Every structure is written in C-alpha cells, then in structure tokens.
Amino acid sequence: MGRLELSRRVGLASFLAAIPLIYLLINAFRTDRSSIYFIWVGLMIAFLIGELLIDYVLNVEFRTVRWATILYVVIFFAATGGMIGIAAEAGKWWTGATVFTFLVMAILAFVQRAKTRL
C-alpha cells in the first residue's frame, strides 16, 4: 500500500519488546518460576529474534510462500498467546487486558492479510 518504510520502522521498533522480555527471563531465574514460564518468554524472544533475522538481516521474502506464511503465523500466535500466560501471573485484570489485546491483534492480523493479499 506504499508504506513499506513505515512498516519496516514499526517492525524494528517492535523488536524493542525483547528488552523487557530478556529482563523477565533473567528475573525468572531469581524468582524460581515454573518451566512453562521460561517456555512462554523464551518462545517470544525466539520469535522476535527470528523475525529480526528473516525480515531485516537476511531480508527473506517468505510471505509469498503459503507454507512459510502459515508456519510464521502459527509461531506468531504461539509466541503472543504465551504472553497471556505471563499476564496471568500478574492477576485477573492483566489477564483480561491481555486477552482483549490478543483478540484485537488477531482480528487486525487477518484484516491486514485480507487487504494486502497478492
């Protein structure tokens, strides 16, 4: 839609989310968190690093290949869905806010895909 540079900047800015996630991971060792907590945080960090490598470092055009796009979306939703589990550790209000945000994000992801489909 002619906004590739804006999209790239927003994508790079989203990588900054790795900073608090790395803090959560380091702090989790000190607070003796459950194994699933490490999986949730680690999966999100791995997704962000993978996206940085694929989209910005290697510049792989994978979104035109159906199986690669499906794999990307599955990993994306697994990683962001794990953040609901992280929020659940903070209480009901944070869980509700995170579930709401996740649902809005899911709807917008599919709307975006419908509008930008090749």
Q: Are 98 and 87 in contact (CB under 8 A)?
A: yes
Predicted pLDDT of residue 109: 86
Residue range 86-97, pLDDT digits in tens: 999 889 999 999
Task: Please tell me the least confidently modeled range out of 4-8, 53-57, 63-67, 104-108.
Answer: 4-8
- Show me where the domains of the chain are located: 4-116
Predicted pLDDT of residue 107: 94
Two structure tokens written together for 73: 């979306």
Residue range 3-38, pLDDT digits in tens: 677 777 777 788 888 899 999 999 999 998 999 999
